[in-house]
Structure 1
Amino acid sequence: MSTAATTGAAAAAAAAISNAVKANGAIVYLAPEDFRRILTRTEYPMVVMAEYGAFTKKYKYLTAYQGFIFFAKSPEKLTFPVPVELIQTKKVWVPDM
């Protein structure tokens, strides 16, 4: 592959990544206690929750705040410091960081 082709491929890959971030927004990984703290910044937040694990149940949580998606995993079901609209789903997927 020529240098121009390599440069073009790298530019195309960078553009694809940039477009994916624009489409999906930024995902911020938090500890469960920090996730709970974010919820207090909104009057009535929406939380998406999924259980996973075959033998030991674990939990994944998502919420949106000011254009960011906040994500947390927990070995225990979280209680929330404010009333939330809870959406339970079968699966939550976020890209590995």
Structure 2
Amino acid sequence: MEEVHISSLVVHAEPTHLEDVKAAILALPGSEIYGDDPHGKIVVVMTTENQGFITTTIDKISNLEHVLNVALVYHHIEKETETFDKPINDLSVEAKGDV
């Protein structure tokens, strides 16, 4: 069974180095920035294949120069449970019995 881990982080960086920190975060695989503010707060969303990669990435971000704090805000695991033979837009619903 394959898994996809979706996590969000709030990173607080020194405001004067916000762009440098954002560039370093974007260089990490699976990391996207969804917003930031001039006070140094950055919202990061990560999509990974396992939980270990999340903790490793949090450690890497925490150790970046000019990062003051990293907080994990959300973590969700999607498990692949079915395989479809058709693309989702080709699926049809058949009514059975009285509705």
TM over 0.5: no
Name which one, 1 or 2, has greater alpha-carbon Rg. 2
TM-score by length of 1: 0.23
Of Structure 1 and Structure 2, the greater strand share is in: 2
Work out which structure has the larger RCO, using CA pairs closer than 8 Å and 6 or more positions apart in sequence. 2
